Structure 1
């Protein structure tokens, strides 16, 4: 009897241990955003109208055709005159960057942002179990992840990942990596850093498809602390509910529409092709087909199924997927964090999701203030919402990003508490949205529209520009 009783007790204890283990593993599959910081560069790195003009004037290869193209792009870029560029570009050394220029740019983002985040959260670098860095255009050895480990004296067992070449959508790729690591069941604190290296990647040629990247991309970066520890949920800002990734790189047009290559003169640059919008639409569609069931309430899903069946029965000619275009995404989402790839990208996504100007305002204002900061852009958009005190407890927020490959990644967050941190927007939020978004470059380069090949004299115009300063 004693042996039987002992076996029963042991079985009971084993069962309790297994149940506890299952509960612990399940509870640590969550992903909480403890806090985040967006980088704000020094004022002496602002790309003012004067500096932008000087940068354009320095490229001696540009003729009237290139001037007209640049003017059109700048006017339609949606950017103001307070964005930032690396020091080597501000100091007129963009055509001869050094490795130290690239390191200096990265160190500035890392030192400022990571220090601020550790100070805000009162978490020590020694507490970090997982470090993920995504920077597409600069991959030195030792890696930048190793540079951070050394800088902050992190533990010897810290897991590090250094992602390169992932483009503007890399931030959510890093987030997915963190989430998958969290599923192991061990309580973990993760540090994620998203930025882009512009210093060594300036294009000094005259291929219009490569000149675009010089205009569109600006200095920026973000750093996030995440955890799966249920005990830290109360102090976390948001909880990750789902994350969907779509990669259409098997399609040649999608793969080739945004890539680093040489122009006809052998100059390396980032090519942004005419097929990019089509590739973005395709990736967006692939992503949302899997995302929709995870973010919409049952009623809206039932309506979607009904409309889909109805469309298959009626089969209207040339109407596309009408059921998808009729979805009311606001039934499941309160806020939309869109990638700031440009006004056309924001407007296209806004139309596809049937969003109002209020919904797309955070992305448009982020583009105006900071430019396209690549993978970190959605965090500046999030910062705008928080600084405007839009984010309330229980709200659901959707992040959508696009990147080379071609990729469309999206994720949904739930806000854990009312948020009102000014962050990088602290000094500017009162001025947004501005009274007018009239492009400030029109006055400086309005003459380009009236010039012809016969009347255009580059040297005279350059001298006229210098005198106007």
Structure 2
């Protein structure tokens, strides 16, 4: 009898040990690590100076003085400096109606892809045939074969690579692609995913006079990013960061949210992206919903308890009022760095106010906007690169990425720094110049003559 009990105990112990090993192995497999990333720096001959920006705006012969003044005000308030980049067809004057071609869009993508992906492979020591999953997102350009297929062909990737191509997802597509890659890796043990993010600017210049559709011409610039992810524990030991949480919010079920950032035709049949006046309100709602789901996952119990207690007290003391009015969760109790989508000055300032951040917290986003402009889905990686170039990311630090996009979507994720991060990357040649003591606006002096046309003062 004792022998039977002993054997039973041994079998149970072995079974428990096997179960524990299986759970640990599964958990390791479900981990998602960032091996490295690269942001694209176009050649210097594609920079958009004040002179160039003014020339491009003036090419639209349909603009009257009110529209011209409106565009200048948008440019001045955009927060973008003089060293962002545009497609070559803009520089060559081929952005006029009817002249951008399909090849212009392909050339823009190829120049980015060839440089960024090759550099990423060189940095990591990995090659195209090591990639098991490929996710590509470019919102405004969807050729056939897809851009994902184009990358597979250009780099000679394996026949069994799982390739995904996303379009129409807007500025939030970077984190959507990250989520897709993470999910794909969970079904493939010890695998590698390549995530490629960019936007097609070359064929998408709006040539009409609808103010809601003219804004995009002033805000978007060329750029792109490529990142290598893995769930392989052996590779994870050399990873820069580990993905801890990712939350996606899609408010497209609400009609106002769905149409606040919409590609459409104007009254004259010219296509562009319309940004409605409801956008700030829609974005604030999406942000609130997203953070409401994210906060319990990343913040300490003490901070959550403080917020709940404060809400209850206000509800008791202020009958009929909003319980949480003036009361905010302190996200700094669970996050050291904030990687905010630099969609524009209003976007950055809006998030700053909503989260109760200070100027240092939003400095990376503001400087990214100034240097690179809004590069759509790849923007977050430029912000992260700024933090790394400044040497601010220490092992164990937590980084919150937050982005918005048409739909309307608000996505967020939390990274934990695992390895040494001090690569200056795409900021190498200019990081010491940031942040400047003051950001001057060259458009003020350059276009002051507009004041004399009507004799009034532009409300910059």
| 8 A contact 1:118–1:124 mirrored in 2 | yes
Instruction: Quote the RMSD (CA, aligned, Å).
Output: 2.2
| 8 A contact 1:68–1:449 mirrored in 2 | no
1:181 alignment partner, SS class: helix
Partner of 1:326: 328
Partner of 1:446: 448
Partner of 1:228: 231
Q: Which digits, 9 at most, give the CA deviation of each residue in 1:395-447, with x for residues without a partner?
A: 01100000000000000000113311010000010111123212111111122
Runs of 4+ with >4 A deviation: 5-19, 316-320
Choose the corresponding residue for 2:153, options 133, 150, 154: 150
Worse-matched range after superposition: 212-221 or 230-239:
230-239
Partner of 2:340: 338
| 8 A contact 2:315–2:323 mirrored in 1 | no
TM-score by length of 2: 0.94
Instruction: Find out whether 1:431 has 2:433 as its counterpart.
Output: yes
1:92 alignment partner, SS class: coil
Paired positions, count:
452
Deviation at 1:318, TM superposition (A): 5.0
Instruction: Find out whether 1:269 has 2:268 as its counterpart.
Output: no
Measured in 1, the distance between the counterparts of 2:35 and 2:143 equals 29
| 8 A contact 2:240–2:419 mirrored in 1 | yes
Measured in 2, the distance between the counterparts of 1:329 and 1:19 equals 34
| 8 A contact 1:334–1:395 mirrored in 2 | yes
Equivalent residue runs for 1:35-184 within 5 Å: 35-95=36-96, 96-184=99-187
Measured in 2, the distance between the counterparts of 1:380 and 1:318 equals 42
1:240 alignment partner, SS class: strand
Deviation at 1:173, TM superposition (A): 0.3
Measured in 2, the distance between the counterparts of 1:169 and 1:88 equals 26
| 8 A contact 1:68–1:448 mirrored in 2 | yes
| 8 A contact 1:238–1:415 mirrored in 2 | yes
TM-score by length of 1: 0.92
Measured in 2, the distance between the counterparts of 1:445 and 1:46 equals 19
Equivalent residue runs for 1:401-412 within 5 Å: 401-412=403-414
Deviation at 1:126, TM superposition (A): 0.5
Deviation at 1:71, TM superposition (A): 1.2
Worse-matched range after superposition: 48-57 or 406-415:
48-57
Measured in 1, the distance between the counterparts of 2:453 and 2:323 equals 43
Measured in 2, the distance between the counterparts of 1:53 and 1:405 equals 31
Partner of 2:305: 302
| 8 A contact 2:315–2:321 mirrored in 1 | no
Deviation at 1:319, TM superposition (A): 4.5
Deviation at 1:20, TM superposition (A): 3.6
Deviation at 1:205, TM superposition (A): 1.0
Q: Compared with structure 1, are the counterparts of its residues 316 and 408 closer, same or farther at alpha carbon in structure 2 (3 Å cutoff)?
A: farther
| 8 A contact 1:335–1:359 mirrored in 2 | yes
Unaligned runs of 5+ residues in structure 1 are 455-469
Q: Which digits, 9 at most, give the CA deviation of each residue in 1:274-329, with x for residues without a partner?
A: 11111100100110110110111111111012112223323455556337x42211
Deviation at 1:352, TM superposition (A): 1.1
| 8 A contact 1:85–1:218 mirrored in 2 | yes
Deviation at 1:448, TM superposition (A): 2.0
Partner of 1:32: 33
Measured in 2, the distance between the counterparts of 1:128 and 1:248 equals 33
